[in-house]
Amino acid sequence: MTVSRGILSVGAYVPRTRLQRQAIYAANRWFAPGLKGAAKGEKAIANWDEDSITMAVEASNDCLLAGPKGKPSSLVLASTSHPFSDRLNAAVVADALHWAPEIHTQDASGSMRAGTSALMAALGREAQQGTTMVVAAEHRQTKVASAQEMAYGDGAAALWVGEGEVVARYLGGCSESVDFVHSYRMAERSQDYGWEERWVREEGYLSIVPPVIAKALSQAGVQTAQVTHFCLPSTLPRVASGVAKKAGIADASVRDNLMSVCGDTGSAHALLMLSHALQEAKAGDIVVVAAFGQGCDVLVFEVTPEVAKLGAAQGVNGYLQHKKPSEAYLRFLAFNGMVEMERGMRAETDRGTPLTSAYRNHEMLQGLVGGRCRACGTVQYPKGRYCVEPTCKQLDSQEPHVFSRSRAQVVSYTADLLTYCPDPPAWYGMIQFEEGGRMLIDFSEVEQVEVGDTMRMAFRIKDQDPLRGYQRYFWKAVPLATTKG
């Protein structure tokens, strides 16, 4: 048993669909033939109903599989692509995870270091009361036929940190702030702008990062020869090995940056690489994770025997293995609003959200909370004043029952080509929860479904209100075959 301060559990989420980079190049080579060198491997792309909030919920649930009992006292959501600029995005995640209202929530943003900076703060002295779930998720927009379009991927990572039987003990870290602008995005823009690669590599990474590594290792009392895993995200080739060499870290310790299998997930990527390293590490290993962006963060961890318990989680490896290769580049553009599709008159319905009603029913809508009868044990969704069991029908006998982590079987289904859906047809149907209770629900990520198929619940975007700029969330049924869990 190892009781100290560090990482209690890790989790991840990588969307199932992997867009082949060769398909991006094939569509754009008439305009940008220089993309050919980057047309290797694949990148993870979010479904039309996913964003940094929904992916954060998935990663957090994955983290809970191997985590301690109970719930954290704080939740931080790091991202440079938060859906809301003036709404606490972390509060939506907490609501979906049934942690509100007791939990403290906070958004972190501003740079590619948002994830590591949030992690460092959670591990610091100011956060020693209670535990913190640090989640980083990214769903960034890019310009068509750009280097960013080739490099960026979607995904999320979650780390539960605090004192206890940690899987990785925090030895120390160092952070430096340097206003070196290698990539930026103004508030009114939706895509990043990047500067010349050689300058970024030489004057940015190779000049700024190695001294911070040296300070972090010194603070942690670790020699460079002891480093087993070195994690440094970068969209530029050979940067991590160059930094490692300059810092005196063995090249064999440099971790694969996952660019060829999922792409760079922005502020989430350092935590994603750290989670991946811990999945494959053994007790006694030293893990160094660094992030670059207007300065540098470096954190040093020592893996403990508790790392063996991470086998219960899907983690990065589980999601990387379970994938769906795709060459549907136009579909990717449509999902991300980079090409305007004719949506038809059925898409013109006013989707205004009555915020008063949404608040009164937020547990039912965002938490998927139904009811369980105290008298007979019957569960139902939605929760009502009367029990639905014909032989019971007790009045006001319902206590809350959470359906979001339940499995269900398909009772009936419809594939509707008349109803507007960004990814037609619109699949929906009746499902029967394993513990009882039925509901009519939308399906997501369905190619074909049959009566009796097992589904899981996934927190997704329900619909969008472009007139008022609002986005609603609800739960959908996803075929269990599209996940490992």
Write out the residue range of the structural domain in which residue 131 sits. 3-335
- If asked whether residues 363 and 331 sit together in one domain, one would say no
Cβ-proximal residues to 60 (8 Å cutoff; 6+ apart), any chain = 11, 75, 93, 97, 133, 135, 158
Q: What pLDDT, on the 0 to 100 scale, is given for residue 67?
A: 84
User: What is the full DSSP assignment across 103-157?
Assistant: SEEEEE-SSTTHHHHHHHHHHSGGG-SS-EEEEEEE--B--TTSHHHHHB--EEE
| DSSP for residue 303 | E
User: Which whole-number Å values give the CA distances from 254 to 92, 230, 238, 277, 278, in the listed order?
Assistant: 36, 5, 10, 10, 14
Q: How many Å apart are CA 460 and CA 396, to the nearest integer?
A: 31
The three-class DSSP label of residue 393 is coil
Q: How many Å apart are CA 307 and CA 66, to the nearest integer?
A: 10
- If asked whether residues 24 and 148 sit together in one domain, one would say yes
Q: What pLDDT, on the 0 to 100 scale, is given for residue 313?
A: 66
- If asked whether residues 307 and 362 sit together in one domain, one would say no
Domain assignment present for residue 349? The answer is no
CA atoms within 13 A on the CB side of 365: 15
Q: What pLDDT, on the 0 to 100 scale, is given for residue 470?
A: 93
**Tokens read off for 87:** 């709404």
Domain assignment present for residue 428? The answer is yes
Domain assignment present for residue 468? The answer is yes
End-to-end CA distance of the chain: 27
Domain assignment present for residue 270? The answer is yes
pTM of the model: 0.95
Q: How many Å apart are CA 98 and CA 91, to the nearest integer?
A: 10
Domain assignment present for residue 389? The answer is no
**Tokens read off for 480:** 């269990």
- If asked whether residues 59 and 131 sit together in one domain, one would say yes
Q: How many Å apart are CA 192 and CA 181, to the nearest integer?
A: 12
User: Which CATH number do you get for residue 79?
Assistant: 3.40.47.10
Return per-residue pLDDT of the chain as tens, 485 residues: 445 899 999 999 999 999 999 999 999 999 999 999 999 999 999 999 999 999 999 999 999 988 888 899 999 999 999 999 999 999 999 999 999 898 999 999 999 999 999 999 999 855 467 899 999 999 999 999 999 999 999 999 999 999 999 999 999 999 999 999 999 999 889 999 999 999 999 999 999 999 999 999 999 999 999 999 999 999 998 999 999 999 999 999 999 999 999 999 999 999 999 999 999 999 999 999 999 999 999 999 999 999 998 875 689 999 999 899 999 999 999 999 999 888 888 778 888 888 899 999 999 999 999 999 999 999 999 999 999 999 999 999 999 999 999 999 999 999 999 989 999 999 999 999 999 999 999 999 998 999 999 999 999 999 988 889 899 999 999 998 655 54
Q: What pLDDT, on the 0 to 100 scale, is given for residue 125?
A: 56
Q: How many Å apart are CA 334 and CA 338, to the nearest integer?
A: 6
Residue 296: φ, ψ to 5°: -155, 140
- If asked whether residues 308 and 435 sit together in one domain, one would say no
- If asked whether residues 325 and 459 sit together in one domain, one would say no
Domain assignment present for residue 87? The answer is yes
- If asked whether residues 79 and 155 sit together in one domain, one would say yes
**Tokens read off for 280:** 């494959």
- Token pair 């008063």 is at which residue? 356
- If asked whether residues 314 and 460 sit together in one domain, one would say no
- Could you give the number of structural domains in the chain? 2
Domain assignment present for residue 394? The answer is no
Domain assignment present for residue 373? The answer is no
**Tokens read off for 54:** 């929904």
- If asked whether residues 293 and 421 sit together in one domain, one would say no
User: Which CATH number do you get for residue 429?
Assistant: 2.40.50
Virtual torsion, Cα 353, 357, 359, 363, nearest 10 deg: -110
